[in-house]
Amino acid sequence: MAVNEARDPRAAASHFQFQGEVVALEPYGNGHINDTLLVTCRTGAAPAHYILQNINRSVFPSPAIVMQNIERVTAHLGRQLAGTPDGARRALTLIPARDGKNWHVDGQGETWRAYPFVEDAHGHETATSAEQAYQAAHAFGRFQHLVSSLPAPRLHETIPDFHHTPKRFAALERAIAADPMNRARLARPEIEFALARQSITGVLIEANLPERITHNDTKFNNVLLDDASGEGVCVVDLDTVMPGLVLYDFGDMVRTTTSPAEEDERDLSKVTMQFPLFESLVRGYIDSTRAFLTAAERQFLAFSGKLITFEIGIRFLTDYLNGDTYFKIHREGHNLDRSRTQFKLVESIEQQEEKMNRLVESVAVA
């Protein structure tokens, strides 16, 4: 991942209360949005590691509201986990800047934040076992449970209408009509696929489900699994924690965990919704959300997988048509490839949806 050269991570790092002297800064992870760096500091003992991030201002036009949310959410998680075994690794905590604030704004108006690096745990691009799927779903469900008791006021909407699928669909229609890069001719089958499914876009919004605090970006690589035990130890990427429907989170787990292929896989024969992984997601999620999940929410678990996969597919397709202005890309046609894998997965879910619904019912009554 290339880090924007115009920004100065080394200067930014000097503003945080890291332990010891910064000896290395290197790009880290596979996020599509922020610039993420691993910071290594020399101390008297073992090196200390941190994550330093620059918030993407074209995606988050108001980084301050992102940080205000994260400040409240991390403090709330920290209070609940204090004194529990391994509590410090189970939630992100902000490293303060030298001026005592919880983030740093540099001379160019760029916003930086830092977290302790969670050692001996990693995010993975794909799940390789049913147990990993269970662990991821359990961790994201536990996260929803822990944040459900956050005291008022309501969190800021860091990206309004983030999971408003009908509005995402309307944005796609605008991109098709404007076609600023003359790329629509290269994406005809994908455009047809998307347009044929408009009818599903409003289902969750019209279902009258409870608003809760949700993560909204529960990609499999946004939960760190413990290297030794495999346990889902820490949920990361908190920029979009805000009011939402729990199904946005479960849906994105289905999208990113049940297929053995990576999000940008070009060999579509590898993209399929693997039923045993879906079953593990359902079990892990229901096990950690029993305290609050309603029957109305449960009945959309399978559907949410289809909807959110479709939604992210149309976002990739829209970005391709608009000239790749939102998601970081690493090759020509990258966003088109990403939309193709999403749509292949939607098809695979469509083929198994009834069976998936029956499974959810059987787990719920067990």
- Interacting residues toward Mg ion by CB under 5 A: 31, 222, 237
Interface of this chain with ligand ADP, residues 188 to 227, rule: CB under 6 A: 221-222, 224
Q: Beta strand 111-116 with 48-54: parallel, antiparallel or unpaired?
A: antiparallel
State the minimum distance, in angstroms, from the CB of residue 118 to ligand ADP.
4
State the minimum distance, in angstroms, from the CB of residue 222 to ligand GN1.
5
Q: From ligand ADP, Mg ion, ligand GN1, none, which one binds at residue 91 (CB under 5 to 8 Å depending on kind)? A: none
Nearer to ligand ADP, 204 or 225 (CB): 225
Q: From Mg ion, ligand GN1, ligand ADP, none, which one binds at residue 55 (CB under 5 to 8 Å depending on kind)? A: none
What is the secondary structure of 150-213 as a DSSP string? PPSSPPP-SSTTTT-HHHHHHHHHHHHHH-TTS-GGG-HHHHHHHHTTGGGTTTTGGGTPPPEE
Q: Does 278 bind ligand ADP (CB under 6 A)?
A: no
Cβ(123)–Cβ(224) under 8 Å?
yes
Cβ(60)–Cβ(158) under 8 Å?
yes
Other CB atoms within 10 Å distance of the CB of residue 121: 20
Nearer to ligand ADP, 122 or 290 (CB): 122
- AA letter at 45: A
Q: Does 33 bind ligand ADP (CB under 6 A)?
A: yes
Which stretch of DSSP H or E encloses residue 40? strand 35-42
Other CB atoms within 10 Å distance of the CB of residue 84: 9
Q: From Mg ion, ligand GN1, ligand ADP, none, which one binds at residue 335 (CB under 5 to 8 Å depending on kind)? A: none
State the minimum distance, in angstroms, from the CB of residue 185 to ligand GN1.
25
The candidate with the shortest Cα–Cα distance to 193, out of 288, 268, 91, is 268
CA dihedral 241→242→247→251, nearest 10 degrees, is: -40
Q: Does 123 bind ligand ADP (CB under 6 A)?
A: yes
* R_g of the chain, CA atoms, integer Å: 20
Residue 135 DSSP SS3: helix
From edge to edge, which strands make up the β-sheet containing 223-226? 121-122, 223-226, 232-235
Query: What binding mask, one character per residue, do residues 13-32 give for ligand ADP by CB under 6 A, x or -?
Result: ---------------xx-xx
Q: Does 36 bind ligand ADP (CB under 6 A)?
A: yes
Cβ(34)–Cβ(1) under 8 Å?
no
Say how many CA atoms lie within 13 Å of 183 toward its Cβ: 20
Nearer to ligand GN1, 32 or 183 (CB): 32
Nearer to ligand GN1, 237 or 297 (CB): 237
Q: Does 9 bind ligand ADP (CB under 6 A)?
A: no
Nearer to ligand GN1, 18 or 343 (CB): 343
Residues that bind ligand GN1 (CB under 6 A): 31-33, 59, 217, 219, 222, 237, 239-240, 263, 312
Q: Does 115 bind ligand ADP (CB under 6 A)?
A: yes
Q: Does 240 bind ligand ADP (CB under 6 A)?
A: no
What is the secondary structure of 288-318 as a DSSP string? HHTTT--HHHHTTHHHHHHHHHHHHHHHHHH
Q: Does 133 bind ligand ADP (CB under 6 A)?
A: no
Tell me which residues touch ligand ADP (CB under 6 A).
Answer: 28-29, 31-34, 36, 51, 92, 115, 117-118, 123, 221-222, 224, 236-237, 239
